[in-house]
Structure 1
Amino acid sequence: MRLRTTLLTASAAVLALSAPAFAGDHQGAEITYPETRADTVVETIFGNEVADPYRWLEQDVRNSEEVAAWVKAQSEFTAAYLAELPGREAYEARIKELYDYERFGIPVEKGGKYFYTRNDGLQNQNVLYVRDGLNGEPRVLIDPNEWAEDGATALSGWSVTEDGSKLLYGIQDGGSDWRTARVLDVATGEVLEDKVEWIKFSGLEWAKDGSGFYYSRFPVTAEGDTFQALNTNQKVYFHKLGTPQSEDVVLYETPDRAELNNFAEISDDGRYLINYSSSGTDDRYEVSLIDLQSEKRGAMTLFPDFKHSYGYIGNVGPEFYFITNEQAPLQQVIMVNVNEPPHIRTVIIPERDAKLDSVSMAGGKLVAEYLVDAKSEVTIYNLDGSKVRDVALPSIGSAGGFDGDADDTEVFYFFSSFNRPTTIYKYDLDSGTSEVWEQPEVAFNPDDYVVEQKFYNSKDGTKVPMFLVRRADIAASGEAVPTLLYGYGGFNISITPGFSPSRIAWLDAGGAYVLANIRGGGEYGKAWHDGGRRQNKQNVFDDFIAAGEYLKATGITTKDGLAIEGRSNGGLLVGAVVNQRPDLVDAAHPAVGVMDMLRFDRFTAGRYWVDDYGYPDREKDFNLLLTYSPYHNVQDGTEYPAVLTTTADTDDRVVPGHSFKYAAALQAADLGGKPQLIRIETRAGHGSGKPTDKAIEEAADVGAFLAYHTGLDLTRMGK
């Protein structure tokens, strides 16, 4: 690659910190945005002259006063606009009412004690409880709501020793991907002195005897680089209780391949540590076993070559069960005897005509969850692969859990759907009966909403499923209403039915909600993922565009009532689709999106994403990336829909510079009279660990913005 960079910085521009200037009503108003300095940054890459005038906005807001001032100006400007939107307060009140319900996590039994999370409804963070026996009196073990005044420090992952005496837990501050691990004595509630830092993209696994735990971590970053530096040289460690982190032992590392991720889990019998190595986001692993009973503790490679996906399910002695896509694009279950090289694979549950999404082992059974057109079906098998029965689920929705130990006779699972919040069930493995363990009371009637699945054709004729959710009266009448269309389309991630209070509020206001299961995801296995990544990425945008066209052509949505939304990779989706079809979209919400496709691999976890996006420093990949990069393809002189970009100033997964630069490009272009705004949250990261009050406020802002610009009347909320 030939690279030429010129940097000609204009004289220091003063950012406009005054109140926003609006001329008349919001719709079609002339908007004077805060000033953003544009530098003359031009690179010649593979013969293409590429401008990057807002590169200075890539700097970490913690380390740049100028970026911090820009964030402040944009935040004040956007807040003033959103505060004036009609019906916003009523909409927020309804969302808050809908959020106010009990939320339970799946309980974990250890040593006769049951551990689970619960939120009473409006608590900023979930609280961890324990019961002595399933029906014992609940006792609070950890309440992270006491950790920070702003509620932005969260409990992130936890694990209990086999005897139930000690709890290992992660602490997440301000939405960052970095974690700190601590240990708590369950009986006394005392936090022990053990403290392990610099954990990221790691599980927390106790040794079976409770003597310590296994985890993965990266090296300490240079000062000032913690939230932007690339993540390399991940190693697997063992921490012995009662010792400082400096004495932790490295169990697995790949110093000759610093780009590899290494993370591990303990086998059911506690004898082996199963290590997974990967180089990116693709499910292509090298799997090794470390015999913890051996003094040498050398690693035995079980599955080499980084060609396929493997996930440990459980083991009975030397017989290890894995879910894999090896010779099975929709996945199957295999068994390998680890004492008998060359480790011949025995197929236990063969591939079928639906995606095998996950498998767990409990009570001598295999519980297999399938995705059938993106919705859950669950089947129980014996360990020899013979079918026992199907699990009866309440309706169209998503189920998961079913974890347990070899001697368990019961397991727990969750079920949720668009109109049904998560309910926790107890399942009897012998009889096959389910009973409700915890079911929340909600401020709506689930039967007032209808969930349908429809199929439509994409540009190339591919049949794509979508879920359509409406109030029952609107569905019965066939009335066209403003519609919120959501998509993701990447990284082999399946987007399935799930509950959201803000989504119910949108339906209450009279809108429709649609989830399009576009290519790039994992809903139909490897082929569906491959059909929407690398050189096939345009299929993702075509699928989403076709969904919008279908909704308008069939009269589901109104002529000027299509809003689109996506998060992270879905933010990229929304940005690309707005650029390609601004005439189709009426309002857009790209959230924490990957917006600069030429530099995404230079920050934090971005280097992993080359599996889906390609390599910006390779000519073929670069040429494709340049065609759809949202930041580089804003169509100056074209009428654009209203766009509200959202991010967080502390996001260290998709660094906020992506959204900062994209919003600056939108505001600098002549895109007509509709607003191009950016909402920037503080101490919220990429999304996980976000406090409830911040989630409610953001949902109200976004929903009111999309409603106003699609004609959904929020002023009638509650009437």
Structure 2
Amino acid sequence: MNKIILSAAILLAGACTAQDDTSIMTNTADTPSVSSKADLSFSSDAHLFLEEVEGDKALEWVKGENERSLARLKTDPRFAALEKDALDIVNAKERIPYGSVRDGFVYNFWQDETNVRGLWRKTTLESYKSDTPVWETVLDFDALAKAEDKNWVFKGSNCFKPKNATQWKCMVSLSDGGKDAVIQREFDLASKTFVEGGFATHEAKQGIAWAGADTLLVATDWGDVDGVASVTESGYPYILKRWTRGTPLNEAQTILQSSPTVMGVWPMTFELEDGRVIQSAMEAESFFSFNYWLFPEDGSEAVKWPIPKKSTPQGVYAGQFLLTLEADWDVEGQGSFKQGDLVAFEVNAFLESKTLPSVSLVMRPKERQAIGSVSLSKDALLISYNDNVAGKVMSGDLVDGEWTFSPVALPDNGNAGIAFASKDESDVFLNYEGFLNPDSLYAFDAKSGEVTLLKSLPPKFDASPYVVEQFESTSKDGTKVPYFVVRAKDTAMDGSTPTLLYGYGGFQISLNPSYSAFTGKLWLDNGGAYVLANIRGGGEFGPAWHQAGLKLKRQVVYDDFISVAEDIIGKGLTSPSKLGIMGGSNGGLLMGVMFTQRPDLFSAVVCQVPLLDMLRYHTMLAGASWMDEYGDPDVPEEREWLEKLSPYHNIDPSMEYPEIFFVTSTKDDRVHPAHARKMAHRLQDLEKPFLYYENIDGGHSAAANLKESANRRALEMTYLMQKLMGSSAE
């Protein structure tokens, strides 16, 4: 994104899908979509001790449930084989080393069985394009963790090189155990060492952006300010400061002080062709509504960018400031632009006048299309977009004042995307994958339009027995909902196929076709079928598809998922006794709602790092930041709806439920592990069946390293096999 050092990425990560690389026709006429009254008769206070993340009593309960559940799953004869296959996959040498290009070198982060925490490494561009690149270690995170006695998890690097300079400035982000809270340290790429006396921050949820060779914009937890905490109710910073090299962090100059009532503040910068760095910030009033601030070069008072609150800056290309629109925009005297459009205006004209210049349309998606991402290279503007859920890429430029685009020649019926592009580099890498097509990496020459295959993974399972199909179900309100089915070609359509249905449905995040060795090797090859549901709440068809399921309208998300489940049952692919579902984070909430609303529809539920207590979610960790998505429990009308929705509060003591498997992490500082803990304990109180696994490390992914990731996948697949394929271990 044009060297937009947009720390705002943490916002979008705030409710990641974690699309796991796995990922009856009963008469429902008299079955209400939502329970008419939440079961609030029980005392939820009895479970509040589980909100103390590392409290002795809470961890004692966690360890007891871990021991009980692992004893069953790990003694299943299939577990060892599944874990071995999963370890072979995560430790495979045949992986595409995706990376970033800097001055003729490709930088890559790599993990394997030897480098569990990973290596940050580099190779020349020429070597990278060969079949056997020669890598040079830049930073060994296993060695660093051992030396400092920390469970360091690499969370990325933020690098900047001033115009006409020869050296890169980098900040390395490190998390203890996988938390969202990190420390950041300045790192010298040339000497491959941390800079002595360089920039370094304390642990916090934070955002930084380079504003020059010796200046950072920093938003972090500054401690109490005049007796008031300097983080919002969501746990994010609301004070932004400019930090100059050689001065203590606590003496940094405040340039924006928002309010504890907003969601948070993050810095962002844009580098222009002449080397100037535009210093800006994003002030999130809520998850989907932002004020964008400019800090003028002359040190004068901050100015708001004259753009809608529901829009996203995408960078500066050919002197044009680009942004995508999440809502219609009526520009006075210039006409209207539509939700989903990519538009632009001349950036220098704004910087001089501080008023909105003439706005032009760059791209308008067609029906059943949506812009996915916008990337900038030295020679082209690149757009990845969904076309009926398939991912495609187009390349464009501004010629004589007109934007022109052409499609990039990549395979159809899969997911094509932009793996790397930078405004400072002509080299562009694109990638393509499909459910049955392993990842491929392509070099793209924007000047000629030529696409060259660089690397392609060997298949991790034999795809020849399988077929991919796309269908549409009809939701309760008549909306057509697309979904993909991956199954054996000779599948008997008699309802006997064990089937895993994956969904997410939130935060405008799209689920596209993707290649998963885990799905293929651990599930398809063992006789299962896989279904991916593209339900509302996601971004498959742009902002409108997402906004159709916000707050009080959210039941449509769940109706969509139910319609997909009923459609695959109606087609004879599977049946309730053979149908399992899986989802994480917001998808974990989806699992909880399906569990309480339609327990008759499936026999297995994998509920990963979920939200489940929707009456207290806004009080726990980053929960308050998601009220734009779900609603505010302190607003009576929205609380009334959330009472009907909240899985924790809608467990019916008289109802028979399928056994559910909760997977979470103690170190998840985004979605509180208490959600899974409390609902599991509620089921325990009612003597309802469940399994529970809480990884002591792992953050929001519930896995801190490759070995733990393989273990988790093997546990989930063992459970699914027990429930849908039968087991002598039960």
TM over 0.5: yes
SS of 2:699's partner is coil
Q: Which residue is 1:153 aligned to?
A: 152
Give the superposition deviation at 1:395: 3.8
Q: Which residue is 1:73 aligned to?
A: 64
Matched, 1:694 2:708: yes
Q: Which residue is 2:119 aligned to?
A: 127
Question: Structure 2 matches for 1:610-621, cutoff 5 A?
Answer: 610-621=627-638
Matched, 1:394 2:431: no
For residues 221 and 647 of structure 1, the distance between their equivalents in structure 2, rounded to whole angstroms, comes to: 31
For residues 147 and 455 of structure 1, the distance between their equivalents in structure 2, rounded to whole angstroms, comes to: 50
User: Closer, same or farther in 2 for the Cα pair 1:250/1:104, shift >3 Å?
Assistant: farther
Q: Is the 8 A contact 2:433 2:513 kept in 1?
A: yes
- CA deviation vs aligned residue, 1:641-666 (integer Å, no higher than 9, x gap): 12111111121111111111100111
Counterpart pick for 2:364 among 332, 336, 350 = 350
Q: Is the 8 A contact 1:125 1:144 kept in 2?
A: yes
Which amino acid letter does the alignment assign opposite residue 581 of structure 1?
A: R
The unaligned stretches of length 5 or more in structure 1 are 1-44
Give the superposition deviation at 1:586: 0.5
Counterpart pick for 1:115 among 107, 127, 136 = 107
Q: Which residue is 1:277 aligned to?
A: 283
Counterpart pick for 1:313 among 309, 312, 315 = 315
- CA deviation vs aligned residue, 1:309-331 (integer Å, no higher than 9, x gap): 222222444x3222223422233
User: Closer, same or farther in 2 for the Cα pair 1:470/1:226, shift >3 Å?
Assistant: farther
Which amino acid letter does the alignment assign opposite residue 340 of structure 2?
A: L
Q: Which residue is 1:217 aligned to?
A: 220
Q: Which residue is 1:142 aligned to?
A: 139
Q: Which residue is 1:39 aligned to?
A: none
User: Closer, same or farther in 2 for the Cα pair 1:529/1:559, shift >3 Å?
Assistant: closer
User: Closer, same or farther in 2 for the Cα pair 1:499/1:382, shift >3 Å?
Assistant: same
For residues 670 and 486 of structure 1, the distance between their equivalents in structure 2, rounded to whole angstroms, comes to: 27
- Greater relative CO, 1 or 2 (CA 8 Å, sep 6+): 2
SS of 2:508's partner is coil
- CA deviation vs aligned residue, 1:52-81 (integer Å, no higher than 9, x gap): 14332343232x211121111111111112
Q: Which residue is 1:324 aligned to?
A: 325
Which amino acid letter does the alignment assign opposite residue 64 of structure 2?
A: A
Which deviates the most, 536-545 or 76-85? 76-85
Question: Structure 2 matches for 1:424-503, cutoff 5 A?
Answer: 424-471=441-488, 473-474=489-490, 480-503=496-519
Counterpart pick for 2:386 among 333, 349, 371 = 371
SS of 1:532's partner is coil
Q: Is the 8 A contact 1:375 1:396 kept in 2?
A: yes
SS of 2:577's partner is coil
Matched, 1:103 2:95: yes
Counterpart pick for 1:286 among 276, 286, 291 = 291
User: Closer, same or farther in 2 for the Cα pair 1:644/1:669, shift >3 Å?
Assistant: same
SS of 2:88's partner is helix
Counterpart pick for 1:55 among 40, 47, 58 = 47
Give the superposition deviation at 1:421: 4.2
For residues 457 and 439 of structure 1, the distance between their equivalents in structure 2, rounded to whole angstroms, comes to: 37
User: Closer, same or farther in 2 for the Cα pair 1:261/1:697, shift >3 Å?
Assistant: same
Give the superposition deviation at 1:301: 1.1
For residues 50 and 270 of structure 1, the distance between their equivalents in structure 2, rounded to whole angstroms, comes to: 61
Q: Is the 8 A contact 2:99 2:107 kept in 1?
A: yes
Q: Which residue is 1:646 aligned to?
A: 663
Question: Structure 2 matches for 1:29-40, cutoff 5 A?
Answer: none
Which deviates the most, 539-548 or 110-119? 110-119
Q: Which residue is 1:85 aligned to?
A: 76
For residues 612 and 503 of structure 1, the distance between their equivalents in structure 2, rounded to whole angstroms, comes to: 30
For residues 525 and 422 of structure 2, the distance between their equivalents in structure 1, rounded to whole angstroms, comes to: 43
For residues 610 and 426 of structure 2, the distance between their equivalents in structure 1, rounded to whole angstroms, comes to: 44
For residues 194 and 484 of structure 2, the distance between their equivalents in structure 1, rounded to whole angstroms, comes to: 46
Counterpart pick for 2:265 among 244, 261, 268 = 261
Count of residue pairs the alignment pairs up: 657
Q: Is the 8 A contact 2:205 2:236 kept in 1?
A: no
Which amino acid letter does the alignment assign opposite residue 432 of structure 2?
A: F
SS of 2:691's partner is strand
Give the superposition deviation at 1:164: 4.6
Which deviates the most, 407-416 or 542-551? 407-416
Which amino acid letter does the alignment assign opposite residue 98 of structure 1?
A: I
Which amino acid letter does the alignment assign opposite residue 200 of structure 1?
A: K
| TM-score, length of structure 2 as denominator length | 0.83
Counterpart pick for 1:677 among 691, 706, 715 = 691
Q: Is the 8 A contact 1:215 1:263 kept in 2?
A: yes
Which amino acid letter does the alignment assign opposite residue 681 of structure 1?
A: N
Which amino acid letter does the alignment assign opposite residue 482 of structure 1?
A: P
- CA deviation vs aligned residue, 1:224-257 (integer Å, no higher than 9, x gap): x999974154233344445442333333331485
Matched, 1:180 2:171: no
For residues 496 and 619 of structure 1, the distance between their equivalents in structure 2, rounded to whole angstroms, comes to: 37
- CA deviation vs aligned residue, 1:428-455 (integer Å, no higher than 9, x gap): 1112122233433453344554332211
Which amino acid letter does the alignment assign opposite residue 645 of structure 2?
A: Y
Matched, 1:544 2:524: no
- CA deviation vs aligned residue, 1:76-106 (integer Å, no higher than 9, x gap): 1111121233412122222222323243454
Q: Is the 8 A contact 2:576 2:601 kept in 1?
A: no
- CA deviation vs aligned residue, 1:339-364 (integer Å, no higher than 9, x gap): 34233322222343211121122234
Which amino acid letter does the alignment assign opposite residue 588 of structure 1?
A: V
Which amino acid letter does the alignment assign opposite residue 383 of structure 2?
A: A
Q: Is the 8 A contact 2:120 2:138 kept in 1?
A: yes
SS of 2:286's partner is coil
Give the superposition deviation at 1:153: 2.2
SS of 2:632's partner is coil
User: Closer, same or farther in 2 for the Cα pair 1:281/1:228, shift >3 Å?
Assistant: closer
User: Closer, same or farther in 2 for the Cα pair 1:381/1:712, shift >3 Å?
Assistant: farther
User: Closer, same or farther in 2 for the Cα pair 1:377/1:88, shift >3 Å?
Assistant: same
For residues 685 and 610 of structure 2, the distance between their equivalents in structure 1, rounded to whole angstroms, comes to: 19
Give the superposition deviation at 1:297: 4.9
For residues 403 and 591 of structure 2, the distance between their equivalents in structure 1, rounded to whole angstroms, comes to: 45
Q: Which residue is 2:648 aligned to?
A: 631
For residues 574 and 657 of structure 2, the distance between their equivalents in structure 1, rounded to whole angstroms, comes to: 19
For residues 312 and 230 of structure 2, the distance between their equivalents in structure 1, rounded to whole angstroms, comes to: 31
Counterpart pick for 2:193 among 190, 194, 208 = 190
Which deviates the most, 147-156 or 576-585? 147-156
Counterpart pick for 1:423 among 405, 429, 440 = 440
Which amino acid letter does the alignment assign opposite residue 89 of structure 2?
A: L
For residues 467 and 617 of structure 1, the distance between their equivalents in structure 2, rounded to whole angstroms, comes to: 38
Give the superposition deviation at 1:387: 3.0
Which amino acid letter does the alignment assign opposite residue 116 of structure 2?
A: N
The unaligned stretches of length 5 or more in structure 2 are 1-36, 129-133, 329-337
- CA deviation vs aligned residue, 1:143-185 (integer Å, no higher than 9, x gap): 2233446995211121233245443210011121101111222
Q: Is the 8 A contact 1:595 1:631 kept in 2?
A: yes
Which deviates the most, 326-335 or 186-195? 326-335
Give the superposition deviation at 1:494: 1.4
Q: Is the 8 A contact 1:450 1:475 kept in 2?
A: no
User: Closer, same or farther in 2 for the Cα pair 1:249/1:359, shift >3 Å?
Assistant: same
SS of 2:693's partner is strand
Q: Which residue is 1:576 aligned to?
A: 593
SS of 1:262's partner is strand
